[in-house]
Amino acid sequence: MIRRAFLGLSAIAVAGPTAAWGDQPATIGYLSARSPDESKHLLAACLDGLKSLGYEVGHNLQVEYRWAEGRYDRLPALAVELAGAKVNVLIATGGEPAALAAKAATSTIPIVFAIGGDPVTVGLVASYNRPGGNATGVSLLSITPEKKRLGLLHQVVPQGVIGVLFNPNYPLQREQIAEVEEAARALGRQVEIALPSSEAEFEPAFAGLIAKQAAALLVSADPFFDTRRQQIVALAERFKLPAMYQFRDYATAGGLMSYGIAIVEGYRQVGIYAGRILRGASPADLPVQQSIRFEFVINLKTAKALGLTIPPIVLATADEVIE
């Protein structure tokens, strides 16, 4: 059941239907660090944003897709392929690795990105209000709530070691670790860090955390983990670890809790910006958008399976409870 609604991304006023590319269909390059099967809903939201501006696949829009499937090392070559395909706009989703690969591949093709952190810090734009170069997009703020996620997990599992999964290949991993360690010190909690960088390392990482007496698990925000969420959720169930994740998708897949932005809305905004650029807008003049609607989801079925009682004060703050 839905408990509470927040404001969504700020609405963008758009002009009436026009065509920047004459009678020829526009071509979008879609570069993702994620996988096509597990992110169908995100792609659908992006295409819906384009449709709201009058661009529809099979009518006046065609899309060239490249999927890295969580392998960040594939992204530079895939971005170069799309730049060589002479797309009108290059959409880069799935976090900083895809956006940075797109930025390195072209300085002329307009880029619309969806990332988790600060685009200024990583060098994608000059500023939020005036991006400057050929890139703009949406900051999904998936990195900054690590402290909030740890705090919610602390309320549900107030004792014991908290294990944390980080991907050593993620560009913002150091910042994530620093934020979690600071939050843990403030709560007086001990954290144990595991650094799996491949599917084969997931099970040993879980076993290692259990050996260090982990009583709960925080899975850090990372597109690589998102592409393997079914495996991670299954391992948390197998090792009986109450776990906190970043997106609602984890909770609906059987994870205990998630706290993060309403990611579908962010991807729709990416599509809207791509549509505006196809109509003639410059990415240099389109301010970077920031997600402002966060979702806290609790899966009570999973809590019961773990023999865990969610405190009433925590239940009261949930936006959605899966029963």
Q: Which regions of the chain carry the CATH code 3.40.50.2300? A: 26-142+261-294, 146-260+296-322
- Rounded distance between C-alpha atoms, residue 146 and residue 96, angstroms: 17
**β 191-194/161-165 pair status:** parallel
- Residue 22: predicted pLDDT: 52
- Which range is least confidently modeled, 21-25, 128-132, 249-253? 21-25
What is the rounded distance in angstroms from the CA atom of residue 177 to the CA atom of residue 185? 12
The secondary structure of 76-111 as a DSSP string is HHHHHHHHHTT-SEEEEESSHHHHHHHHHH-SSS-E
**What percent of the chain is predicted at pLDDT more than 90?**
84
Burial per residue of 265-302, b for 16 or more beta-carbon CB atoms within 10 angstroms, e otherwise: bbbbbbbbbbbbbbbebebeebebbbbeeebbbbbeeb
pTM for the structure as a whole: 0.86
Distance from C-alpha of 228 to C-alpha of 223, rounded to nearest angstrom: 9
Given pLDDT bands bounded at 50, 70 and 90, which one contains residue 6? very low
Q: Is the pLDDT of residue 52 over 50?
A: yes
Q: H/E element holding 176?
A: helix 173-187
Q: What is the CATH number of domain 146-260+296-322?
A: 3.40.50.2300
Q: Are the CB atoms for 180 and 246 separated by under 8 Å?
A: no
Q: How many helices, marked H, and strands, marked E, lie in the chain?
A: 12, 13
pLDDT digits (tens, 9 = 90+) for 296-312: 999 999 999 999 999 99
Residue 99 scores a pLDDT above 90: yes
**Candidate CATH numbers 1.20.1300.10, 3.40.50.2300, 3.50.50.60, 3.40.470.10; the one for domain 26-142+261-294:** 3.40.50.2300
How far is Cα of residue 18 from the mean position of the Cα atoms in its chain? Answer: 31
Distance of CA 266 to the CA centre of its chain: 9
Q: Tell whether the model's pLDDT for residue 242 goes beyond 50.
A: yes
* Average confidence (pLDDT) over 79-102: 96
Q: Band of the pLDDT at 14, cuts 50, 70, 90? A: very low
Q: Do 226 and 247 form a contact (C-beta atoms < 8 A)?
A: yes
Q: Could you tell me what percent of the chain has a pLDDT over 70? A: 93
CA separation for the pair 272, 258 (Å, rounded): 27
Q: Mean pLDDT lowest for which of 1-15, 231-245, 285-299? A: 1-15
